[in-house]
Amino acid sequence: MQEQALHVNKRLLMAVMVVGAFIAILNETLLNIALPQIMRDMTISASTAQWLTTAYMLTNGVLIPVSAFLIQRFSTRSLFISAVGIFAAGTLIAAISPDFAVLLIGRVVQASGAAIMLPLLMNVVLTIYEPHQRGAAMGMIGMVITFAPAIGPTLSGWLVEHHSWRLLFFIVLPIALLDLLFAVKSLQNVMPLSKPKVSVLSVLLSTVGFGGLLYGFSSAGTAGWDSRTVIASLAVALVALTVFVVYQLRLRAPMLEFRVFTYPMFSLTTGIMVLMMMAMFSSMLLLPIYLQTMRGFTSLQSGLLVLPGAILMGIMSPITGRIFDKIGAKLLAVVGALVTAVAMFGLARITLQTSFVYMAVLYALVMFGMSVMMMPTMTAGLNQLPQHLNPHGTAMSNTMQQVAGAIGTGLLVTVMTSETKAHLGSQMRALGTPTPSQAQVALAVRHASVLGMNDAFLVAGLISVAAFAMAWFIQRTGAHHAVLTEFEPEDLAAGDAQ
């Protein structure tokens, strides 16, 4: 049977899909600084408002594992257009929401579209680029993954300080609609379809397993590890995931293929990525707490502190990708993990008098280290997989990053909280008086909180050291397949019909 070549405008395709992924990931952190204003406007508590972030994360965590099935079942064009359309609809719902319930629905709808965009983009890169060209393309994705959530607090801080939180959605909406328009006009199908059948049990087990895991770990930081909700969530999640893995291994066409972990470089690089995501989330989580609650900085000032790091990361990610194409991932991963570890140990020495510039430089070093190692490490692992496992590899990698973020948040907040209590006892005993003044107690609490945060950054530094040690074992592997540039006519016809 004759084959016909598919001529792909790679730059246009990447531009359209990168913009979609950027605004999707931007929304993960865009709302964090606006939560106090939303609490005042809608008269809700902090724990209730936090669901706007938690629900977004949970929806991502539940749908990303399903993305491997969707990518094989629906065409590139139809899946991306649907994802952007759903995201835009959720953004509009959130922007005009009259109450908290509608706002929460809008966030869930947003996340339903966002969860598909990044795995789909990564699969497109693995399909249309030769292995020796993927570094530069993945560098662009790296910029999206790391620059978007880093710039979110800065943008949000400025807007919330001068305008309504609703503007956060009204700014994103026209960008999403323009991207949708360009996708409708220019997006091409670039991946063949295998038409797998949906397994309802697989979807159910995946939802309960990954959703419960993310909720349990993210709740542990505030509710405590001994909370009945946390224990129940993690227990149910572990049982569901165990059954899910066993069930997938028995299926001829699993929804999520766990055999990707039989490829050693994929397993190694995924482990490194999990550790580094845990470390990165610590700086993104702990620094705003330190700046706003312990030092009295405004949300805008907090956002400006992380801005240099975000800009540096945006510059470095594409450059790093091109370097990866020439020398591989090992040296980049080693250097990136080392720089990140040094910066974390530096942040473990902050005090109530630490200068703004010192913290901005250290945060910039964290972002530099992440930009140097993140996408090269991920690409090195994905390059070892055969073509038919690419959807499963990208879904697994993105899912593990979501889980790592939740684990990192729960672990480091727990370290900070428990160590703060221990240091507070020492601080109070050091006062040498049974009836300290209110001012003395307040100062002791602030000192203890900073010391607790130091301990949390120290743990993040040790996690980075573990990633540094693992990075030395990265090897440059040959790809098991060639890039797809041709399709059977019926594959294209099936894709266009989706």
Residues 6+ apart with CB under 8 A from 361: 308
Helix axes 330-347, 299-327, angle to 10 degrees: 160
The Cα–Cα gap between 31 and 275 comes to 25
The whole-number pLDDT of residue 429 equals 76
Read off the pLDDT of residues 319-364 as tens digits, 9 standing for 90 and up.
888 888 888 889 999 999 999 999 999 999 988 888 888 988 998 9
**Section 41-49 average pLDDT:** 77
Q: How many CB atoms lie within 10 A of CB 195?
A: 10
Max avg pLDDT among 3-7, 13-17, 81-85, 120-124: 81-85
Mean pLDDT of 447-453: 86
The pLDDT value recorded for residue 341 is 94
Question: What is the reported pLDDT for 496?
Answer: 42
pLDDT at 473: 93
Q: Indicate if the pLDDT at residue 236 is higher than 70.
A: yes
pLDDT bucket at 485, cuts 50 / 70 / 90: very low
Could you tell me if 401 and 266 are in contact, meaning their C-beta atoms sit under 8 angstroms apart? no
| Run of H or E including 487 | strand 486-487
Domain ranges of the chain: 4-196+255-497, 197-254
pLDDT value at position 311? 82
pLDDT computed for residue 482 by the predictor: 38
Comparing 38-42, 121-125, 143-147, 180-184, which segment has the lowest mean pLDDT? 143-147
Predicted pLDDT at 90: 94
CB 334 within 8 A of CB 175: no
Give the DSSP letter string of 283-296: HHHHHHHIIIIIS-
Which two tokens mark 130? 């030769």
- Residue by residue, DSSP assigns 162-229 as HS-TTHHHHHHHHHHHHHHHHHHHH----S----PPP-HHHHHHHHHHHHHHHHHHHHHHHH-TT-HH
Task: Answer yes or no: is pLDDT of 491 > 70.
Answer: no
pLDDT at 470: 95
pLDDT at residue 270 in the model: 93
- Calpha distance 218→410 (Å, rounded): 5
- Residue 460 to residue 466: CA distance in whole angstroms: 10
Span 373-395, average pLDDT? 86
pLDDT band for position 176 (cuts 50, 70, 90): very high
List pLDDT tens digits, range 1-18.
333 334 667 888 888 888
CATH homologous superfamily for 4-196+255-497? MFS general substrate transporter like domains (1.20.1250.20)
Q: Where are the alpha helices (DSSP H) in 43-99?
A: 46-49, 51-63, 67-73, 76-95
What confidence score (pLDDT) does residue 389 get?
A: 86
Mean pLDDT across the chain: 82
pLDDT (0 to 100) of residue 478 = 57
Q: Are strands 486-487 and 4-5 parallel, antiparallel or unpaired?
A: antiparallel
Q: Which of 137-151, 219-233, 241-255, 440-454 has the lowest mean pLDDT?
A: 137-151
Cα four-point dihedral sign 349, 351, 355, 356: positive
Bridge-partner residues for 487, per DSSP? 4
Please report the pLDDT score of residue 1 as a whole number: 32
Q: How confident is the model at residue 87 (pLDDT cuts 50, 70, 90)?
A: very high
Q: Among all chains, which residue has been given the structure tokens 């979110």?
A: 152
Tokens 């379809």, residue located: 193
Residue 242: its pLDDT value, please?
A: 94
Query: What pLDDT score was predicted for residue 264?
Result: 92
More confident residue, 233 or 444: 233
Rounded to whole angstroms, the Cα distance separating 92 from 82 reads 15
Instruction: Check whether 28 has a pLDDT greater than 60.
Output: yes
Q: Tell me what pLDDT residue 13 has.
A: 85
What average pLDDT score do residues 153-181 get? 84
Phi and psi at residue 32, in whole multiples of 5°? -55, -50
Burial class of residue 437, CB neighbours in 10 A (0-12, 13-18, 19+): exposed
Better-scored residue on pLDDT, 486 or 175: 175
Give the pLDDT score at 375: 83
Q: Which residue has the tokens 């990303």?
A: 64
146 or 345, which is more confident: 345
How many Cβ atoms sit within 10 Å of the Cβ of residue 445? 16
Structure tokens at 66: 């399903």
Quick one: three-class SS letters along 113-175? HHHHHHHHHHHHHHHHCCHHHHHHHHHHHHHHHHHHHHHHHHHHHHHHHHCCCCHHHHHHHHH
